[in-house]
Amino acid sequence: MSTPASSPSPPSSKVAGIHPPLPPVQHTPGPPSQENRRSAAIRRPGLTEDRLAGWISDLTTVQALTERIGRTGTLAEAIHETLHAGASLLGARRAFLALRPLEPPGPWQSPGGEQLAGLGLDRADLGQWETVPRASACHTRLLDARPGAEPTEIGHRDIAGESALHPQHRAVAARLGCAASYALPLTTDAEHPLGAAVWLFDRPGVPEPRQRQLLARCLRPAARHLAGRLELSRARRAIATVRDELLPARLPRLPGVALAARQRAEPLGGAVCYDALALPDAGLGLAIGATPETGPAALAAMGRLRAGLRAYAVMEGEDPVAVLSDLELLLRLTEPGHAATALFGYAEPAVRRLVFASAGHPPPLVIGERGAEYADTALSAPLNMLACWEAPSVELELNGGETVLLYSEGMLRRAGWPSDAAFTRLRAAAADAPPAARADPEALLDHLLTALPPRPRAGGRPNADTVLLAARFH
């Protein structure tokens, strides 16, 4: 029988933890009397207000959860808040999210390789779910489904009692104490979902329709935000790979000298590279260069600059001024408008001799038993800043046990700002190194990075990459 128009329908139950369910309205059989009509008129506004208040409260809750997801800055934070939002709406205690691999599988490859992240689950627990066959696991079924095809959601009311599930699925759920589950895909405008989320329950049951509606409303913006964080993570990983290619795979081993290097990359740091290469006649080339520009284009330009520097070092490395002059000409012809600082030194470890030239780069720091001092260098402009670059070379006669330190501007920014105070702090940190650290270049670099931890950005300036290259002469 249809409900009379004068009698509103019972309201649907609210999400657990948000609003208690409202009691159903008692309908009056037969034609309403005048007194019943008066009572209904009194009750109807209150009931409408309760419904409206419930809807507003639900939407406010979803908005608050969505805003928390949108404020996350990293992919890991976005995943955690997404799972936490679903757990709050569904009353779940544990959950996990599976993201597609960074590169889609080829036609000859089987699906797989999803990245799993959990809420209330450790790495071992996630490994248990990875053993469930793809045809039975909720997240893989959603990820493997054809676009526009079912299922769009998967709920298991009683995992232990569902004989259609794979035995391994039921065994993993029993081992982890999971009685029920509910899964949804994370979809954007792309053809395939970027991932799937699974919420786990300690007792049998499935979420109510209102809970599922609120969760779906929350996951739509969450999926878009996750897609953005994922794309940013991929871009940063690609840039990190290119940055690593600017660095030597290993440092050479030559008699009479011990080498060590450290690199600490910053998300917005400029392109920095260093190099140490064995040269003819037992020589050693030491180089460091940087550009204030950021992004893939700056990294590519620095890669070409490093390749040119290595070639010139092999051809005329004994004359650092000639090496930097050739490099400046190369930069002016192939990278117009791109400035860079560089320092190149030619060392003869057997006689503890170092000749170097600088193009706008901070001077080397010589560290020994008596303290630390900067090498005297003439003022010079960065490469590609003048019509013709040239600066005199500097020769150092080193004592046994002394270390020459090359460093990037990022190390100075760790030491502080302005630059005068940064130079002072860096020299003081090197002079205060214990004897054991001064005797080992690896320990010396660790000491400097510990003594000068990263500092907040000064004056809105972005932090630069920190690069250290140390050469200790025996």
Are 378 and 389 contacting, i.e. CB atoms less than 8 angstroms apart? no
Q: What mean pLDDT, rounded, does the chain reach?
A: 80
How many other CB atoms sit within 10 Å of the CB of residue 81?
22
- pLDDT band at 46; cut points 50, 70, 90: low
Beta-strand relationship, 195-201 and 180-186:
antiparallel
Region label for 330, one of left (φ > 0), alpha (ψ between -120 and 50) or beta (otherwise): alpha
Region label for 461, one of left (φ > 0), alpha (ψ between -120 and 50) or beta (otherwise): beta
Q: Using N-to-C axis directions, what is the helix angle for 75-90 and 209-245, rounded to 10°?
A: 170
- pLDDT band at 151; cut points 50, 70, 90: low
Region label for 466, one of left (φ > 0), alpha (ψ between -120 and 50) or beta (otherwise): beta
Element (H, E) at 39: helix 34-70
Q: Is the pLDDT of residue 128 over 80?
A: yes
> Could you give the C-alpha distances from 392 to 57, 193, 358, 376, 404, in angstroms and in order?
74, 61, 9, 11, 19
Q: Is the pLDDT of residue 15 over 50?
A: no
Confidence (pLDDT) at 243: 66
Question: What average pLDDT does range 144-159 have in this prediction?
Answer: 82
Element (H, E) at 46: helix 34-70
Considering only residues 269 and 473, tell me which one the structure prediction assigns the higher pLDDT.
473
Q: Do 69-240 and 248-473 show the same overall fold?
A: no
Q: What pTM did the predictor assign?
A: 0.58
Burial class (CB in 10 A: 0-12, 13-18, 19+), 13: middle
Q: Using alpha carbons only, what angle is made at residue 222 by residues 218 and 228, rounded to the nearest 5 degrees?
A: 165
Query: Domain map of the chain by residue range?
Result: 69-240, 248-473
Q: From 3.40.50.1100, 3.80.10.10, 3.40.50.300, 3.30.450.40, which CATH number describes the 69-240 domain?
A: 3.30.450.40
Which of 149-153, 400-404, 410-414 has the highest average model confidence (pLDDT)?
A: 400-404
Beta-strand relationship, 283-290 and 365-368:
unpaired
What is the tens place of the pLDDT at every residue in 412-445? Answer: 888 776 678 889 999 999 999 999 999 999 999 9
Which of 156-170, 222-236, 272-286 has the highest average model confidence (pLDDT)?
A: 156-170
Strand partners, 373: 366
Taken in order 168, 142, 197, 158, is the CA torsion positive or negative?
Answer: negative
Considering only residues 233 and 359, tell me which one the structure prediction assigns the higher pLDDT.
359
Confidence (pLDDT) at 1: 38
What is the tens place of the pLDDT at every residue in 68-110? Answer: 888 888 888 999 999 999 999 999 999 999 988 755 544 333 4
> Could you give the C-alpha distances from 318 to 73, 116, 321, in angstroms and in order?
49, 54, 9
Share of the chain above pLDDT 70, in %: 78
HSE, CB side, 13 Å, CA atoms: give it for residue 104.
Answer: 9
The domain made up of 248-473 is a member of CATH 3.60.40.10:
yes
Q: What DSSP letter does each residue of 53-82 carry, written as one string?
A: HHHHHHHHHHHHHHHHHHT--SHHHHHHHH
Q: Residue 275 gets which letter from DSSP? A: E
- Listed range (106-115, 144-153, 172-181, 189-198) with the worst mean pLDDT: 106-115
Are 100 and 117 contacting, i.e. CB atoms less than 8 angstroms apart? no
Confidence (pLDDT) at 25: 31
What is the tens place of the pLDDT at every residue in 289-348? Answer: 888 777 667 777 777 888 888 889 998 889 999 999 888 888 888 877 778 888 999 999
